[in-house]
Amino acid sequence: MTKSKDEGQRAKGKSKIFRLLPFAFCLLSCSFTFIPFAPRPLEIPPAILIGNDSVLGRSQNEIVLKVNLVKVPSEGYLSASLYLKSDRTEKRIAEDSKLVTQNSRDLEFRFPNAQLGQYRAYLFWQGSIVRQFEFNLK
């Protein structure tokens, strides 16, 4: 009698385990749903601040980009690319870079041989576009 009683207890224990097994698998498969993934905080490099009085224009036979720097976080290169729009496409016609220190305030980028057309200039700091300028030379 004790033998069959032990077998009955084992059977009940096994049936409980088998009943809990699907719940355990479900819980394990959904663990990422319940435990939120916390990404590392983004490291945003300090940005250069360009003044509102910066302008793209024409001086004699040149396109001139005058840049007023308000804040320079560190020494580096400020790059300018000049594009000319023609027939639904933009073609890069010139680019220039200037070394900027923390004491720099006013810069001029000069691009020779101004032609009639619509110009667009982009300023880059540490590989990212900082500002865009447009000028239409009629």
Q: Which residue has the higher pLDDT, 25 or 53?
A: 53
Residue scoring higher pLDDT (129 or 138): 129
Q: How far apart are CA 99 and CA 75, in angstroms?
A: 7
Q: What is the pLDDT of residue 66?
A: 95
Mean pLDDT over 121-126 rounds to 92
Taking the CB of residue 80, how many other CB atoms lie within 10 A of it?
A: 23
Q: Does pLDDT of 82 surpass 90?
A: yes
Q: Is the pLDDT of residue 110 over 90?
A: yes
Query: Measured between alpha carbons, how far is 83 from 122 in angstroms, rounded to an integer?
Result: 8
Backbone φ and ψ of 47, nearest 5°:
-95, 155
What's the confidence (pLDDT) of residue 111? 92
The Cα–Cα gap between 122 and 100 comes to 16
Distances (CA, A) of 34 to 20, 28, 80, 120, 130: 19, 10, 48, 49, 40
What share of the chain has pLDDT > 70, as a percent?
78
